[in-house]
Copies of this chain bind each other. A is one copy, B any other.
């Protein structure tokens, strides 16, 4: 109600308190991603954010609350990064190229050390924090596949795809593209994240299979 815009519980805010709060969040993100939930201790977070422990607890009531905050923020943040621009297929653009580009955009965002580590972290804590895992699922794969289904339905209406169930087609496309590199990086570590060239080959091969099954017959 004052002259200043209130902090949106997100990014804005120049006050001393807001700055400290962000420092804590940044430090907590780093430490939690590195050491996991139980492996993290609050002293390290306070030290890394150059803030006293008292201040940490002034902003976040508990370790659990801080954890939920940063994981929740990262999931929605990452989800938004991928899906805020869904370019339509241009009139003179090749369908296969369009799908490959879409796949590559998705892959380059998800196959990032931070995002991969977030995934591992949330999966490892499914039992302790089932809600966080559900949110990650909704804002990640579920969201991607919902958008894909809409795109495919549109393409089918334009006669460019032959699709029974759009949701199933979206699932198939999504996993044809993502699964191999994702699972590899998941278990073999960040060093196993494929190069850009490998990702392109992977995307092209996946698109080829997808179009063989769902492409319209004249080709």
Which A14-63 residues have C-beta < 8 A from chain B? Answer: 34-36, 38-39
Q: A147: which B residues are within 8 A, CB to CB?
A: none
Instruction: State the oligomeric state as a number of copies.
Output: 2
Which A164-200 residues have C-beta < 8 A from chain B? Answer: 168, 171-172, 174-176, 178-180, 183-184, 186-189
> Could you say which of A85-93, A101-109, A118-126 contacts chain B?
A118-126
Q: A172: which B residues are within 8 A, CB to CB?
A: 176, 205-206, 209
Q: A73: which B residues are within 8 A, CB to CB?
A: none
Q: How large is the interface on A (under 10, 10 to 19, 20 to 34, 35 or more residues)?
A: 35 or more
Distance of A107 from chain B, by nearest CB (Å): 14
Q: A206: which B residues are within 8 A, CB to CB?
A: 172
Determine the main DSSP class of A at the interface with B.
helix
A212 in contact (CB, < 8 A): yes
Distance of A22 from chain B, by nearest CB (Å): 25
Distance of A20 from chain B, by nearest CB (Å): 28
Residue contact A36 to B176, C-beta cutoff 8 Å: no
A77 in contact (CB, < 8 A): no
Q: A39: which B residues are within 8 A, CB to CB?
A: 38, 128
- Which residue of the partner chain, among B123, B175, B180, B212, contacts A124 with CB atoms under 8 Å? B123
A136 in contact (CB, < 8 A): yes
Residue among A35, A130, A178, A212 facing the most chain B CB atoms (10 A cut-off): A212
Q: A35: which B residues are within 8 A, CB to CB?
A: 127
Bound Cα distance from A124 to B123, whole angstroms = 6
Distance of A193 from chain B, by nearest CB (Å): 13
Q: Mark A111-139, 1 if CB is under 8 A from B, else 0.
A: 00000010011111111101001101100
Which residues does A use to contact B, with CB under 8 Å? 34-36, 38-39, 117, 120-128, 130, 133-134, 136-137, 141, 168, 171-172, 174-176, 178-180, 183-184, 186-189, 205-206, 208-210, 212-214
